[in-house]
Amino acid sequence: MSGEHTSAPVAARVRRLEERLIEAGVVGEEQLDAALAAMLKGASPVNGARIVARAWVDEGFRARLLDDANAALPEVGLSMAGGIQEQRLKVVENTETAHHVIVCTLCSCYPIGLLGPSPSWYKSEAYRSRVVREPRAVLAEFGLELPADTAVTVWDSSAESRYLVLPRRPDGTAGMSEPELAALVTREGLIGTAAV
């Protein structure tokens, strides 16, 4: 992806907002710090990879995950309740004929608990605006060339709703254990900018 993302103006705006909330007595500095720490505790793409590996080996879990991800996550010791309020998670499954990719066109909403802090390109104006208009071109820039008959769906995240891509299980992995499968899954695969 081209386009350099600078987080400085956003960071300054966030800090001003924090100061106003504290001045107004809405929250205390310690509460804010505690909420941030809780959100980031254990946040890593390892979590998303574990979810995917379980879905690949356990058909029942896969079905429950696609049906209601929030209800299925505790089966692998995870939840979406890490932040101030529980966010809805929808897991979207790649197939031979369908590919999914996630974005937040408005800002940078992202399932941080399952993927860790988002990469800077995810927050960039270039990605947010272009992936909606020309997803195939953007995916090609990430090195992901999709067949012409694959339907590409772009999912726009919001404050209440987050998405996670369930990539296709690679060929030749039939004999692999669940941890071995999890090690194949990348952050980009969970966003949809890579195949796995």
Active site amino acids: 104, 107-109
Pick 126 or 146: Cβ nearer Fe ion: 126
Contact 65, 58 (CB under 8 A): no
What is the four-CA torsion angle of 116, 10, 134, 51, rounded to 10 degrees? 10
Pick 106 or 140: Cβ nearer Fe ion: 106
* Residue facing Fe ion at closest CB distance: 109
CB of 97: closest distance to Fe ion in angstroms?
Answer: 29
Pick 47 or 108: Cβ nearer Fe ion: 108
Pick 51 or 112: Cβ nearer Fe ion: 112
- For binding to Fe ion (CB under 5 A), which residues are involved? 104, 106-109
SS (H, E, C) the chain: CCCCCCCHHHHHHHHHHHHHHHHCCCCCHHHHHHHHHHHHCCCCHHHHHHHHHHHHHCHHHHHHHHHCHHHHHHHHCCCCCCCCCCCEEEEEECCCCEEEEEECCCCCCCCHHHHCCCCHHHHCHHHHHHHHHCHHHHHHHCCCCCCCCCEEEEEECCCCEEEEEECCCCCCCCCCCHHHHHCCCCHHHHHCCCCC
CB of 121: closest distance to Fe ion in angstroms?
Answer: 15
CB of 17: closest distance to Fe ion in angstroms?
Answer: 15
CB of 87: closest distance to Fe ion in angstroms?
Answer: 11
CB of 108: closest distance to Fe ion in angstroms?
Answer: 5
Pick 72 or 89: Cβ nearer Fe ion: 89
Contact 181, 48 (CB under 8 A): no
